[in-house]
Amino acid sequence: MAEYKGVLIGGEVAEGKIAPITLELLGIGRKLADDLGEELSVLLLGSSLSEAARGAIVFGADKVYIADDPLLSDYNSDTYTAAVTKACEQLSPSILLLGQTDMGRDIAPRVAARLRTGLSVDCIELGIDPHTKLLIQTRPVYGGNALATMVCESARPQMATVRFKSMSALPPDDSRQGEITNIDLGIDASAIKSKFVERVKEEAEGIKLEDANVVIGGGRGVGSAENFDMLWELAHLFGGAVGGTRVACDEGWLASTLQIGQTGKIVSPNLYIAVGLSGAMQHIAGCSGAKNIVAINKDPEANIFKVAHYGVVGDFKQALPALTEKCKELLG
pLDDT digits (tens, 9 = 90+) for 54-72: 999 999 999 999 999 989 9
Task: Note the pLDDT of residue 210.
Answer: 86
Regions of the chain with pLDDT less than 70: 1-2, 143-145, 202-205
Short-list 207, 214, 168, 201, CA closest to 60: 168
> Looking at this protein, which amino acid is placed at residue 228?
F
- Written as one string, the DSSP assignment of 93-130 is -SEEEEESSHHHHHHHHHHHHHHT--EEEEESEEEE-T
Does 3.40.50.1220 match the CATH number of domain 209-331? yes
Report the distance separating Cα 263 and Cα 268, nearest Å: 16
- Cis check for the bond before 157: say yes or no (omega within 30 of 0): yes
Report the distance separating Cα 156 and Cα 13, nearest Å: 26
Contact 124, 217 (CB under 8 A): no
Q: What is the pTM of this model?
A: 0.79
Q: What is the CATH T-level fold of the domain 7-191, as seen in this structure?
A: Rossmann fold (3.40.50)
Those residues whose C-beta lies under 8 Å from the C-beta of residue 154, and which sit 6 or more positions away, are none
Contact 278, 304 (CB under 8 A): yes
Report the distance separating Cα 49 and Cα 89, nearest Å: 22
Per CATH, 7-191 and 209-331 having the same topology is answered: yes
> Looking at this protein, which amino acid is placed at residue 150?
M
Q: Quickly count helices (H) and strands (E) in the chain.
A: 9, 17
Task: Note the pLDDT of residue 126.
Answer: 98
Report the distance separating Cα 158 and Cα 152, nearest Å: 6
Count of positions (residues) in the chain: 332
Contact 299, 282 (CB under 8 A): no
Contact 216, 231 (CB under 8 A): yes
Short-list 217, 302, 288, CA closest to 254: 217
Domain spans of the chain?
7-191, 209-331
